[in-house]
């Protein structure tokens, strides 16, 4: 089964975050849109992409939108990944024995990113690294935060248009 696509209703789930707090998708959607970034620590494309999502987190914080990672690794490996790649946004732990959230969303590759509207509809579904999809999420985060889109790419930085997941 391929990852869920735009126009699909996002499956509700609850997971424990790395900091031990419970995360409920429905509770977060009641506050505004949610960006889910599914990843695995050993994935080179995840290692490439997630620091860019950290830049979005730093640019917008929690202004109108919730950005969370969903790790397919255990707490120890996930904490090491976050430290190595400078990830400070909340990261959830998808149970490594059953992957309830990853399976509900039909993941076959990581990273897979979803923008979920407050009504629960998936409005952006992106597999791998797609610069155009990242830029769309940047625009949506800016709009949700009622601000101009942040310049998240640094001058002279080599940012690929695509990297397979």
What is the predicted pLDDT for the residue at 2?
65
Q: Average pLDDT, stretch 118-145?
A: 97
Q: Tens of pLDDT along 77-108? A: 999 999 999 999 999 999 999 999 999 999 99
Q: Any idea where the domains of the chain sit in the sequence? A: 14-145
Quick one: what percent of the chain has pLDDT higher than 70? Answer: 99
Q: Average pLDDT, stretch 16-27?
A: 97
Q: Which CATH class is domain 14-145?
A: alpha beta
Q: Is the pTM of this model over 0.85?
A: yes
Long-range contacts (CB closer than 8 Å, 24 or more residues apart) made by 99-106: 99/72, 100/13, 100/15, 101/11, 101/13, 101/15, 101/38, 101/70, 102/38, 102/70, 102/72, 104/11, 104/13, 105/3, 105/4, 105/10, 105/11, 105/36, 105/38, 106/1, 106/2, 106/3, 106/4
Query: Which of the four pLDDT bands, split at 50, 70 and 90, describes residue 62?
Result: confident
């Amino acid at each position: 089964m391929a990852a869920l696509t735009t126009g699909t209703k996002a499956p509700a789930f609850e997971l424990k975050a790395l900091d031990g707090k419970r995360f409920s998708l429905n509770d977060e959607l009641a506050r505004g849109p949610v960006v889910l970034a599914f990843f695995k620590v050993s994935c080179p494309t995840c290692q490439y992409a997630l620091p860019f999502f950290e830049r979005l987190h730093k640019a917008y914080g929690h202004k109108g939108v919730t950005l969370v990672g969903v790790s397919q690794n255990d707490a120890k490996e996930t904490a090491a990944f976050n430290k190595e790649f400078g990830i400070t946004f909340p990261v959830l732990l998808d149970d490594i024995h059953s992957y309830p959230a990853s399976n509900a969303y039909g993941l076959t590759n990581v990273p897979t990113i979803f923008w979920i509207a407050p009504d629960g509809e998936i409005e952006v579904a992106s597999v791998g690294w797609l610069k155009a999809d990242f830029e769309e999420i940047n625009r949506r985060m800016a709009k949700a935060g009622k601000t101009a889109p942040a310049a998240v790419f640094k001058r002279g930085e080599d940012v690929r248009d695509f990297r397979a997941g």
